[in-house]
Structure 1
Amino acid sequence: MTARPLDGKTVLDLTTALAGPYATLLLAGLGATVIKIENPATGGDSSRGNSPYARADGPAADRRDDTDMSVSMLTRGRGKLSVTLDLKQPRGREVFADLLGHADIVVENYAAGTADRLGVGYQAARAVNPRIVYTSISGFGAQGGGSGTGKAMDTIIQALSGVMMTAGEPGDPPVRFGLPVGDLLAPLYAVIGTLAAVLHAEHTGEGQHVDVSMLGALTSLLSCEPFDAYEMMGLPGRTGALVPRLAPFGVFPAADGWIALCGPTDAFARGVFAAMDRPELAGDERFATRDRRVRSAAELHELIRSWSSGLTRAEAIKRLADHGVPAAEVRDPAEAVRDPTVLARGEVVELVHPDHGPTGLLGPGIPITFSASHADLDRPAPHIGQHNQAVLGGLLGYSAERLAALADEGVL
Structure 2
Amino acid sequence: MDREGALAGLKVIELGQLIAGPFCGQLLGDMGADVVKVEAPGGGDPMRNWGSGEHKVWWDVIARNKRSVTADLRRAEGQDLVRKLVAEADIVIENFRPGKLESWGLGPEQLLEGNPRLIIVRMSGYGQTGPYASRPGFGGVAEAMGGWRAIVGEPDRPPSRMGVSIGDTLGATFGCMGVLAALHARTRTGRGQIIDVALYECVLQVMESQIAEYDVSGLVRQRSGSILPGIAPSNVYPCRDGEYMIAANADGIFARLCDTMGQPELARDPRFADHVSRGRHQSDLDGIVSAWTGQFLIAELEEKMIDNAIPAGRVYSPADIVSDPHIAARQAVVSVPHAVHGSIKMQNCVPVLSDTPSRIRRSAPTRPGQHNAEIYTELGIDASDLRTLEAGGVI
Tell me which interval the TM-score lies in, with the shorter structure as reference length. over 0.9
Match of 2:281 among 278, 296, 300: 296
1:67 alignment partner in structure 2? none
1:342 to 319, 322, 327: 327
Cα distance in 1 between the residues matched to 2:12 and 2:364: 16
Which shows bigger deviation, 333-342 or 108-117? 333-342
Corresponding position: 1:20 with 2:5 = no
How do 1:161-176 and structure 2 match up within 5 A? 161-176=146-161
**1:172 shift after superposition:** 2.1
Aligned residue runs from structure 1 range 132-143, under 5 A: 132-143=118-129
1:209 aligns with 2:200: no
Kindly state the Cα deviation for residue 225 of structure 1 after the two structures are TM-superposed.
Answer: 5.2
Shift of 1:85: 0.8
Corresponding residue number in structure 2 for 1:184: 169
Once residues 259 and 279 of structure 1 are traced to their aligned partners in structure 2, the CA distance between those partners, rounded to angstroms, is: 21
CA contact (8 A) 2:213 2:220 kept: no
Q: Does 1:376 align with 2:370?
A: no
* Residue aligned with 2:206, SS: helix
TM-score (normalised: structure 2):
0.92
Q: How many residue pairs get matched?
A: 393
Residue among 107, 113, 120 paired with 2:106 = 120
Instruction: Give matches, 1:10-409, under 5 Å.
Output: 10-40=11-41, 43-50=43-50, 60=54, 70-143=56-129, 145-146=131-132, 150-224=135-209, 228-229=213-214, 232=217, 237-353=222-338, 355-356=339-340, 358-359=342-343, 361-382=344-365, 383-393=367-377, 395-409=378-392
Q: Tell me how far 1:231 sits from its aligned partner.
A: 10
SS at match of 1:260: strand
Give the drift of 1:313. 1.5
Deviation at 1:409, TM superposition (A): 2.3
Name the SS for the 1:83 alignment partner: strand
Alpha carbons 1:106, 1:134 under 8 Å: kept: yes
RMSD across aligned positions (CA): 2.4
Deviation at 1:245, TM superposition (A): 1.3
Q: Structure 1 residues 145, 226: CA separation in 2 closer, same or farther (over 3 Å shift)?
A: closer
State the Cα distance separating 1:294 from its structure 2 match. Answer: 2.1
Q: Decide which moves more: 78-87 or 243-252.
A: 243-252
Distance 1:235 1:311 in 2: 38
Q: Give how far 1:357 is off.
A: 5.8
- SS where residue 335 of structure 1 aligns? helix
Alpha-carbon offset, residue 10 of structure 1: 0.5
Q: Residues of 2 paired with 1:290 and 1:7: CA distance? A: 48
1:127 maps to amino acid: E
TM-score w.r.t. length of structure 1: 0.89
Q: Deviations over 1:188-227 (max 9, x none)?
A: 0000001111121222111100111111101221134578
Change over 3 Å in CA distance of 1:371–1:216 after alignment to 2: same
Whole-angstrom distance in 2 between the partners of 1:192 and 1:316: 40
Report the secondary structure of 1:287's partner residue: coil
Q: Is the 8 A contact 1:254 1:308 kept in 2?
A: yes
SS of equivalent residue, structure 1 residue 211: strand
| SS of the residue 2:238 aligns to | strand
1:372 offset after TM fit, Å? 1.0
Amino acid corresponding to residue 291 of structure 1 in structure 2 = V
What is the match of residue 64 of structure 1? none
| Deviation (angstroms), 1:160 | 2.3
1:242 positional shift: 2.5
Q: Distance in 2 between matches of 1:10 and 1:347?
A: 26
Distance 1:333 1:82, change over 3 A: same
State the shift of 1:230 in Å: 11
Indicate if the aligned counterparts of 1:231 and 1:237 stay in contact, CA closer than 8 A: no
User: 1-side partners of 2:215 and 2:249: how far apart?
Assistant: 18
Residue identity matched to 2:240: A
> Counterpart of 2:102 in structure 1: which amino acid?
D
Q: Deviations over 1:307-330 (max 9, x none)?
A: 111211222222233222111111
CA contact (8 A) 1:37 1:85 kept: yes
SS of aligned partner of 1:82: strand
What is the CA distance between 1:232 and its match in structure 2?
Answer: 3.9
Amino acid at match of 2:308: H
Amino acid in the other structure paired with 2:371: H
The question of whether the paired residues in 2 share the 8 Å contact of 1:201 and 1:207 is answered with yes
Q: Which aligned segments of 4 or more residues in structure 1 are displaced greater than 6 angstroms?
A: none
- SS, match of residue 298 in structure 1: helix
C-alpha distance in structure 1 between counterparts of 2:220 and 2:303, whole Å? 34
Once residues 233 and 122 of structure 1 are traced to their aligned partners in structure 2, the CA distance between those partners, rounded to angstroms, is 41
SS in 1 for 2:67: strand
Task: Note the residue ranges of structure 1 that are not aligned, 5 or more in a row.
Answer: 53-58, 62-69
**1:15 Cα deviation from its structure 2 partner:** 2.7
Q: Name the CA shift for 1:215/1:195 in 2 (closer, same or farther; >3 Å).
A: same
